[in-house]
Chain A
Amino acid sequence: MSVSQAPSTLQRIFDYASRADPYPLYAELRKTPVDRQEDGTYAVSTYREIYALLHNPHISSDPVNLAHPGPVAAERIKHPAFINLDPPQHDRLRRIAMRHFGPPHNPSLVTGLQPKLTDIVTGLLDRIGDREQIDVVEDFAYPFPVTVICHLLGVPREDEPQFHTWVEAIVALLDFNPETGPPERLQEGLRAREEIREYLSGLAEKRRDRQAGDDLLSKLVNEDGPDGRMTHEQVVSTANLLLIAGHETTVNLITNGVLTLLRHPDVLARLRRDPAMIVRTVEELLRYEPPVQLIPWRAAYGDATVAGVTIPAGSQVTLVLAAGNRDPARFRDPDRFDPDRPDNQHFGFGSGVHLCFGAPLARLEAQIALNAFFHRIPDARLLADPPPYRQSAVLRGPRHLAVGRG
């Protein structure tokens, strides 16, 4: 066995041992804003440089532009959703989906959901009742966005246990390293991707004429706009993307929100006196504990120069959003949780053409959930700090968050 080198900062970030508090490692990483790794990939961790690359058309989201795509990317190339495509295909597919979700054609959809969201949250809190111990994840932060995305997309809520298993396996692929990761994790993830596609394909088939409803899936299957209609394959990829993204990120945002507020009782006390402060609080949360900590890969389409470093075409680039969010060159006193922060242009939803599609919904969900939670459970206290974390370094958040009362 050869003597292994000390792990790089980026490798230590991916290491599960640092999941509860990766922020000191992010600070370490920022000392080299554009950090070339042993394997020829690049990690970018400072705000200005991340911003520049997110807005640089030479940085591609399409894995075909990776010199060494690897087994996970290869599968994405076969069934790309718009998150893994560049303009103009990305723009067209995203526009078709956006027609049924937001402005300019559907500007009031998300705001119109407010009563529905409040009902769902109230129902979950009613079910919690006056139980002494709560798992914020299982009892609240997970079931809420899942119910919402099922409702929006038109996926039966009762299928959740089934697709949840698939989604877990798929998320485990996000930071899968073929060099070091267990091959069965790869196989399991790839199989799950196939199965969830088959499942969604079946749902889409049923929407064709016969069972068309008011949901997004029905509209994607049946409606024509100025950009025409998606192919069946594209509908499935889009539904897959929206189901997973709508499922796996907001849960972290809400759970991180409960955790962070309980760690900052002064802010929580102010929020309870002034619920309108929730808007700024959620923005700060998106900066302070972003649900998507890093974009694991983008591909340099042409040579891209940033901070004096030229990233050659074909290179894999990791954009460490959470490190940029704590960059002291951009945010004063960045490790302070401060909802009053001016000019809070965080990377909580990314930036550029791939800016989070569901951002307006995620914002509203988190605002409603956090205000309602602390209204109903004013004496909540943490039973374990830090809580146990989920495996993923990319979609980082607690696996459980045990909260008691009084």
Chain B
Amino acid sequence: MTSAENLDRFRRQGRIVIVGASLAGMRAAETLRDEGFTGSLTLIGDESREPYDRPPLTKQVLTGWVPAHDTVLPRRREIDATWMLGVPASGLDLAGKRVLLADGRDVPYDRLLIATGVRARPWANEAEAALEGVFVVRTNEDSAGLQERLAAGPKRVLVIGAGFAGSEVASVCCELDIPVTVAEAAEAPLTGALGDMIGSVAARLQRAHGVDLRCGVKVTRLDGDEQGRVRRAYLSDGGTVDADVVVVALGGIRNTEWLLDSGIAAGVWGVACDTGCRAFDINGLVTDDIFVAGDVARCPHPVYEYRFLSLEHWANAVEQAHVAAHNMVSPPTHRWPHLAIPMFWSSQFGVNIKSVGVPILADQIAVTQGTVDDMRFVAAYGYRGRVTAAVSFDNAKWLDHYKYMIETAAPFPPEPFPDQAADMAPIPAHFPDPVIITHGATVLVTGHEPSERRVAAVSPYGGRP
């Protein structure tokens, strides 16, 4: 039988399993059906509710405007799938082509899509994390619980971490007239994603809205009262914050533990794949029946010198899921590379912040349109003389052009625009030191001859798996 006949039979009666039933998983399922896949489709998800949208969870849901249960993702079409919700995948049997579930069952597949995403990084001290009033915001339940507490009018909220999620929570507190303190280890909010210059703008924005912003400090300890309710936080600079609600916004942990033993290149950095979304095995060889999409994927981008990018963006999940699903049911000659230019947005303190490209890889930044003082501007990021990213504050309509400049490697800084201030010159971008993944050895290499050299996994979570 030819491979074309094989593919045709697979498209008609093959088995596709998607692990991860959120945005990427569901959009992939829809695309598979759009592409004419009529075989069996199974979605496995650890949460028991049907797929929902996460961006509102730190915005409209927290203000109480949109009930948490009203954020279900719209279905674009029937997907005729078997849903296995409320039970996480616990392992992958590559040779046997089975997904193992935590409840002991297993699900066989012909092709697999890994879309397990990210979960909130919890407060490191388990006892402190268990105090009543300590929240993370990642799931629908997290957001519903926090919303309830905010609606009850807490005396003060402490937000730990001023990335996008933390800043959005702080913004909601201001909107609800709840006193809020933000503690950030870096010198300003958003610096990790957007650099020093934009960080200082974000700091000004937060303070102008009444946020008690403490930068360059870490929270060292959370203290509870006799009823086990959080009441105070201790800071590395010796200060304290009395707060009855603490929101831990320290980023995410990629859900890859279930793959540790599997022979797939998975770790704290995500699941590595090629631009066709095909997962690498642990030796760095590309697989042909296992695909990855969404927050958990780690994919090279040719525009950024083929560096592997892990992107936790809504648009990336959608676009990557689309490409992955297409490739899962297409012959090798018809496969697409995932080459979308990354894009994300945030709304906080009345400002729409939107970005294209990958700011963190830049060496310079220049305000190219509008003025920072008005909180209405576009800044372009450059790397070695070409435009590689841009960010806008309340000026998103121009970003398509910046995307075009990134795609065409346009020179940085760009020629002046009509609304560019005359004295604007590029300045160093200043990102905190690139986050080098220093979790110790993750693999060991064994063997001597090329035919016998292989990689073995070492658990990054401590010891051998």
Contacts and interface: CB of A to CB of B under 8 A. Distances in A.
Contacts of A62: 418
Contacts of A353: 397-398
Given A86-B419, A87-B418, 10 more contacts: A55-B404, A57-B417, A57-B418, A58-B417, A87-B369, A91-B376, A301-B417, A302-B415, A302-B417, A353-B398
A251 B377 CA distance: 37
B418 A86 contact: yes
Contacts of A303: 415
Interface of A: 51-52, 55-58, 60, 62, 65, 86-88, 91, 301-303, 352-353
B416 interface: yes
B401 interface: yes
Contacts of A301: 417-418
A185 to B, nearest CB: 31
B240 to A, nearest CB: 37
B400 A57 contact: no
B370 interface: yes
Nearest to A51: B400
A87 B370 contact: yes
A352 B397 contact: yes
B417 A55 contact: no
Contacts of B415: 58, 302-303
A44 to B, nearest CB: 15
Contact of A57 (B371, B374, B398): B398
- A56, A57, A60, A62: most-surrounded residue (chain B CB, <10 A): A57
A86 B401 CA distance: 16
A67 B358 CA distance: 37
A65 B418 CA distance: 9
Contact of A55 (B370, B395, B400, B419): B400
Contacts of B416: 302
A79 to B, nearest CB: 19
Nearest to B420: A57
The 8 A-B residue pairs whose C-beta atoms are closest, nearest first, are A57-B417, A55-B400, A87-B419, A86-B418, A302-B415, A55-B401, A353-B397, A56-B401
B376 A57 contact: no
Interface of B: 368-371, 374, 376, 395, 397-398, 400-401, 404, 415-419
Nearest to A91: B376
Contacts of B398: 55, 57, 352-353
Contacts of B376: 88, 91
Nearest to B394: A91
A58 B371 CA distance: 17
Nearest to B374: A88
B68 to A, nearest CB: 23
B370 A57 contact: no
B30 to A, nearest CB: 13
Contacts of A91: 376
B75 to A, nearest CB: 16
19 contacts: A55-B398, A55-B401, A55-B404, A57-B401, A57-B419, A58-B417, A62-B418, A65-B418, A86-B418, A86-B419, A88-B371, A301-B417, A301-B418, A302-B415, A302-B416, A302-B417, A303-B415, A353-B397, A353-B398
Contacts of B400: 51, 55
A52 B404 contact: yes
Contacts of B370: 87-88
A87 B415 CA distance: 16
Contacts of A87: 369-370, 395, 418-419
Contacts of B418: 57, 60, 62, 65, 86-87, 301
A303 B416 CA distance: 10
Contacts of A60: 418
Nearest to A48: B404
A51 B401 CA distance: 9
A84 to B, nearest CB: 13
Contacts of A65: 418
B404 A57 contact: no
B32 to A, nearest CB: 18
A353 B397 CA distance: 6
Contacts of B374: 88
A367 B404 CA distance: 35
B347 to A, nearest CB: 11
Nearest to B378: A57
A88 B419 CA distance: 6
Q: Point out which of B398, B415, B418, B419 has the most chain A C-beta atoms below 10 A from its C-beta.
A: B418
B14 to A, nearest CB: 27
A303 B415 CA distance: 8
A56 B418 CA distance: 11
Nearest to B416: A302
Contacts of B419: 57, 86-88
A81 B400 CA distance: 25
Contacts of A58: 415, 417
Contacts of B395: 87
A58 B415 CA distance: 8
Interface centre among A56, A87, A302, A353 (most CB of B within 10 A): A87
Contacts of B417: 57-58, 301-302
A301 B416 CA distance: 9
Nearest to B397: A353
A302 B420 CA distance: 12
A57 B392 CA distance: 13
A62 B417 CA distance: 13
A89 to B, nearest CB: 9
A302 B418 CA distance: 9
Nearest to B403: A55
A324 B417 CA distance: 25
Nearest to B369: A57
Nearest to A90: B419
A357 to B, nearest CB: 14
Contacts of B397: 55, 352-353
Contacts of B401: 52, 55-57
Nearest to A64: B418
Contacts of B369: 57, 87
B243 to A, nearest CB: 31
A57 B395 CA distance: 12
Nearest to B404: A52
A302 B405 CA distance: 15
A334 to B, nearest CB: 22
A60 B370 CA distance: 15
Contacts of A52: 401, 404
A88 B370 CA distance: 7
A60 B416 CA distance: 12
A56 B397 CA distance: 10
B390 to A, nearest CB: 11
Contacts of A51: 400
A301 B368 CA distance: 14
A51 B400 CA distance: 9
A116 to B, nearest CB: 28
